[in-house]
Amino acid sequence: MKIFKITMLAVSLGLMSFAIIKPINTIVEKEKSAVIVASVLWKAETIDVGEIPQGTPKKMVYEFTNTSKAVIIITNVQGSCGCTATDYTKTPIAAGAKGTVTATYNAASAGSFSKTVTVNLNDGLAPSVLTLKGVVKAVEAKI
């Protein structure tokens, strides 16, 4: 009897591992033979600003289009460090409409930089990670 109970438990657990789970449909539509796997299409996910002077903040604007058939909302935008301030479209973005995420790098330290901004939407998909990079050139002191 004990062996029968253990066998039934093993069979039950085995059958539960085959439960049908509805897959998340992340493929929204095709555009020019490219498959879009998100609710938004970014104009550019990386912006290289080249050389900028030290001490002069640099603002970068990332533009996107809502490629889904539903209204989306940006729920959170977070820079990778305190040196990057962010702002974004706070109103709901209708299907086919455009929105923006703005990142302002403070350029306090001379040298190369590469920072990221993570954008979360209400679509349940993985967040978008935007990159800003460039080189801050030290400003020569006037004597």
Distances (CA, A) of 120 to 32, 64, 75, 126: 26, 13, 6, 8
- Class (C level, CATH) for 25-137: mainly beta
Confidence of residue 8 (pLDDT cuts 50, 70, 90): low
**First and final CA of the chain: distance in angstroms?**
95
Mean pLDDT of the 13-22 span = 49
Helix or strand holding residue 84 (H, E): strand 84-88
**Residue 96: what pLDDT?**
95
pLDDT, one tens digit per residue, over 52-107 is: 999 999 999 999 999 999 999 999 999 999 999 999 999 999 999 999 999 999 99
